[in-house]
Amino acid sequence: MSLDPGFRMHAERTPNPNSIKWVLGQPLVEGRANAFFDVAPGATVSPLAERLFAVSGVRGVFVAANFITVTKADDVDWADIAQDVVNAVKSHVESGEAALGASYEAKPEASGGDIEARIQRVLEEEIRPAVAMDGGDVVFAGFRDGRVELYMQGSCSGCPSSRATLKLGIEARLREAIPEVREVVAL
């Protein structure tokens, strides 16, 4: 399969200086599926992430609907690896393989009662779309004793401003919408 002549991809900066969001003009995964890798997976888990981790200096890969957020090591300059990242993405698209392989298993979403359902609704409708604009994601892990636990993924993982996002953005919004929430923490 050859690369579609209409293939489009552009880079967007994120609040995390070590992460760049690469937006494609086509879907990578179906629906709302996404995946975060902080170590290289095998090709059966994610052929795309495997290709990206082959680029020296890549430390994280977040795959979402139509974008990939790549996080680099602190001691690596984007100018040194950007073209290799672009080449890896183009090579993947050209291969025709799925971004997530047959062995990929999504983390099960935490379940629970009414409070958990309300938390998840605010996260899905308000928080996750805003965070995705910056190349990241938050995943609900649980709610215990007034404490919401989240996984920070993509550009949010290791971002210098992630604590502010967590406390001033996510925690403030959840406390406003759901009085039972007292604190939000990242796992």
Mean pLDDT per block of 10 residues along the chain (187 residues) reads 66 94 90 88 95 97 94 96 96 93 78 86 93 91 94 87 86 95 94
The pLDDT score that the predictor gives to residue 110 is 58
Listed in sequence order, the residues at least 6 apart from 175 whose beta carbon sits closer than 8 Å to its beta carbon are: 181, 182
Rounded CA gap, 164 and 158, in Å? 12
Locate 21 and state its tokens: 């969001």
User: Is-contact 148 119, C-beta < 8 A?
Assistant: yes
Give the residue range(s) of CATH 3.30.1370.70 domains in the chain: 9-95
pTM: 0.80
**pLDDT of the residue at 6:** 66
Pick the CATH number of 9-95 from 3.50.50.60, 2.60.120.260, 3.40.120.10, 3.30.1370.70: 3.30.1370.70
- In sequence order, the 6+-apart residues with CB closer than 8 A to the CB of 14 are 20, 21, 69, 134, 135, 136, 155, 159
**Domain spanning 114-186: CATH 3.30.300.130:** yes
The whole-number pLDDT of residue 19 equals 95
The CATH 3.30.300.130 portion of the chain extends over 114-186
Predicted pLDDT of residue 149: 94
Q: What is the pLDDT of residue 1?
A: 39
